Amino acid sequence: MECQKKANQLLDEFCIPRGLLPLDNIVEIGVVRSEGFIWLRQKKKKDHYFEQISRSVPFAAEITAFIEPQRMMKVTGVKAKELLLWIGVSELLVDNSISGNIQFKTHTGISRSFPISAFVN
């Protein structure tokens, strides 16, 4: 429970909606602030269905990323289904000001935007 609390505090600090990483049973969280590197480890992988965007997203047992305000880059451990293929999400950008959307990018260059409200916990 302590790791979950720290994960929520970290997401809040960087203005990233808590519901974006709906992880259960987090057993380890780490931050290298000088590099902006984070990792979260949960007991086992988790599949989560985001109802408002009608998408299922698998989260690996370990998720890593480089984080800065309203942005996560070089994300590992998160995938999205696009055109019948599971593709790793590599970057996300929270745009609170203009569109109110979160933009997701993959390594292949595919980009999708969804409303922030779909990820508010």
Q: Where are the domains of the chain?
A: 2-119
Q: How many CB atoms lie within 10 A of CB 77?
A: 21
The vertex-65 CA angle with 61 and 71, nearest 5°, equals: 130
- Two tokens at 67? 């984080």
Closest CA to 72 of 27, 31, 43: 31
- Two tokens at 79? 């995938």
For residue range 100-109, what is the model confidence (pLDDT) as tens digits? 899 999 988 8
* 3-state SS class at 34: coil
CATH of 2-119, one of 2.30.240, 3.40.50, 3.10.450, 2.60.40: 2.30.240
- Two tokens at 93? 């950008």
For residue range 4-58, what is the model confidence (pLDDT) as tens digits? 999 999 999 999 999 999 998 999 999 999 999 999 999 999 999 999 999 999 9
Q: How much is the pLDDT for 99?
A: 75
Residue pair 93/73 in contact by the 8 Å Cβ criterion: no
Q: How much is the pLDDT for 108?
A: 86
Q: How many CB atoms lie within 10 A of CB 11?
A: 19
Eight-class DSSP state of 119: G
Pairing of strands 37-42, 111-115: unpaired
Residue pair 77/101 in contact by the 8 Å Cβ criterion: no
For residue range 43-102, what is the model confidence (pLDDT) as tens digits? 999 999 999 999 999 999 999 999 999 999 999 999 988 767 788 899 999 987 677 899
- Two tokens at 74? 């070089």
